[in-house]
Amino acid sequence: MKLLFKQRVFSWFDSYDIYGEDGETVFTVQGRLSWGHCLEIFGPGGENVGTVKEELLTLLPRFALYAGEAYIGQIKKEFSFFTPVFHLDCNGWEVRGDWLEWDYDVTDSSGGYVMHAGKELFHWADTYVLDIAREEDALLCLMIVLAIDAAKCSSGGD
């Protein structure tokens, strides 16, 4: 499954549209006023399906993940040299980026492929293409990319 993740250019808060391969909107993401990043994810019918909320007062970026109202875990940036590494504590996935922080690969605990996210260049706003192995992982994969993008903005790397 492929998703196209596009940030809206003219928006007061972080705002994104996520499209499927057929060009239809699969998710919309709205930033909410709060301390740190708080991104609410809505399904095609407008229902809240998830939230990514930055946890403050941490040495490295860390985000709590919610499916609907239920807490499912967190993603946190690990200390590493040259390439960014994130750890997802709810299922043991590991996220590794390239040294430019444009491309990310997500693997499960046995090293199996979960997702590749690549940043497209030459766009007015952040645009990523997500290639997800299993459709049922789409929401969690989207949360990962939202957290990485927010972490880069918080550290001034974007």
Region of 89 on the Ramachandran plot (φ > 0 left; ψ -120 to 50 alpha; else beta): alpha
In this prediction, residue 15 has a pLDDT band, given cuts at 50, 70 and 90, of confident
Pairing of strands 38-42, 48-54: antiparallel
Query: pLDDT tens digits, residue range 48-80?
Result: 999 999 998 878 889 999 999 999 999 998 888
Does residue 140 lie in a domain region? Answer: yes
User: Closest by alpha carbon to 131, among 114, 143, 148?
Assistant: 114
User: Closest by alpha carbon to 60, among 33, 82, 80?
Assistant: 80
Query: pLDDT tens digits, residue range 87-98?
Result: 888 888 989 899
- Between the CA of residue 94 and those of 20, 99, 104, what are the distances in Å? 24, 16, 10
Q: How many domains does the chain have?
A: 1
In this prediction, residue 11 has a pLDDT band, given cuts at 50, 70 and 90, of very low
Does residue 112 lie in a domain region? Answer: no
Query: pLDDT tens digits, residue range 98-117?
Result: 987 889 999 999 999 999 99
Residue type, 117: A
DSSP H/E element including 48: strand 48-54
Residues of the domain holding 139: 2-74+117-154
Does residue 107 lie in a domain region? Answer: no
**Looking at per-residue confidence, does 96 or 132 come out higher?**
132
